[in-house]
């Protein structure tokens, strides 16, 4: 069995790759496409070199527009829901990060993004707060919603329930998509702020379908 260590912070690993893939996906949607309330389910299976398996499911994901208090062309509001589940082979542990990728067509350097609602994990939890997202034209933001450790005993899940987003200063066409990123391995740990483990390191990202936010 091979060993690895010092592979970088778990939250930061692969961020550049996610942003690059997001930019391609968001750019591929025309401004005339209407946002659907229900989004398609998704599944991805990743296999390590030693045969370890990580499976990711996305289900019951939906997004719809809502009026904003600002009520002006550069203000957007939408509500998100979805279930995100990860299962790994016996003995494989890791981290599951739920992100949303948001991009605007015109200068959005002053975005203020606030969200409220609930995020339910195995065992139950909630989250509310606000984020500031400085963006320039043609860029996208990878918004870290939450992350959860994946134990070596089986399955973990995150449920996004009616979480509302308000974005100000976003001109032109805008769109978003979900991304569930998993980093896993046997003996997975993050001692000293680095990823450590045995066998193969498995990294997998399941992207949701992009949807219009106005």
pLDDT, tens digit, 9 for 90 and up, residues 89-147 = 988 999 999 998 887 775 555 555 565 555 554 433 334 334 444 445 555 778 888 89
| DSSP secondary structure letter of residue 34 | P
Output the CA torsion 95→9→141→175 (10° steps).
Answer: -20
- No. of helices (H) and no. of strands (E), the chain: 1, 12
Question: Helices marked H in the chain — which ranges?
Answer: 15-27
Please tell me the predicted confidence (pLDDT) of residue 72.
63
pLDDT, tens digit, 9 for 90 and up, residues 8-46 = 444 444 444 444 444 444 444 443 344 447 999 999 999
- What is the arithmetic mean of pLDDT over 191-213? 84
Please tell me the predicted confidence (pLDDT) of residue 193.
67
| Per-residue tokens: 84 | 């995100």
Average of per-residue pLDDT values in the chain: 72
Domain 3-212 listed as CATH 2.60.40.1650: yes
pLDDT, tens digit, 9 for 90 and up, residues 38-66 = 999 999 999 988 899 999 999 999 988 77
Length of the chain: 214
Residue of 64 and 180 predicted with greater confidence: 180
Residue 133 burial by CB count (10 A; 0-12/13-18/19+): exposed, middle or buried? buried
Strand partners, 156: 86
Cβ contact 79:66 at 8 Å: yes
Question: What's the CA gap between 47 and 207, in Å, rounded?
Answer: 17
Rounded CA Rg of the chain: 18
């Amino acid at each position: 069995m091979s060993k690895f260590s010092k592979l970088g912070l778990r939250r930061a690993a692969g961020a550049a790759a996610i942003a690059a893939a997001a930019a391609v996906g968001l750019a591929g949607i025309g401004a005339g496409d209407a946002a659907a309330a229900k989004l398609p389910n998704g599944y991805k299976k990743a296999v390590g070199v030693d045969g370890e398996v990580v499976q990711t499911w996305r289900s019951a994901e939906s997004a719809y527009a809502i009026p904003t208090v600002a009520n002006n062309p550069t203000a957007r509001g939408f509500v998100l829901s979805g279930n995100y589940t990860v299962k790994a082979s016996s003995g494989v542990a890791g981290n599951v990060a739920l992100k949303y990728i948001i991009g605007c067509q015109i200068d959005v350097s002053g975005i203020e993004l606030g969200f409220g609602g609930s995020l339910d994990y195995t065992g139950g939890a909630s989250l509310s707060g606000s984020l500031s997202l400085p963006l320039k034209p043609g860029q996208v933001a990878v918004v870290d919603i939450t992350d959860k450790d994946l134990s070596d005993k089986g399955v973990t899940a995150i449920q996004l329930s009616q979480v509302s987003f308000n974005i100000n200063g976003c001109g032109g066409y805008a769109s978003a998509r979900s991304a569930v990123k998993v980093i896993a391995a046997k003996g997975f740990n993050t001692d000293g702020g680095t990823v450590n483990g045995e066998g193969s390191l498995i990294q997998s990202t399941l992207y949701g379908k992009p949807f219009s936010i106005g």
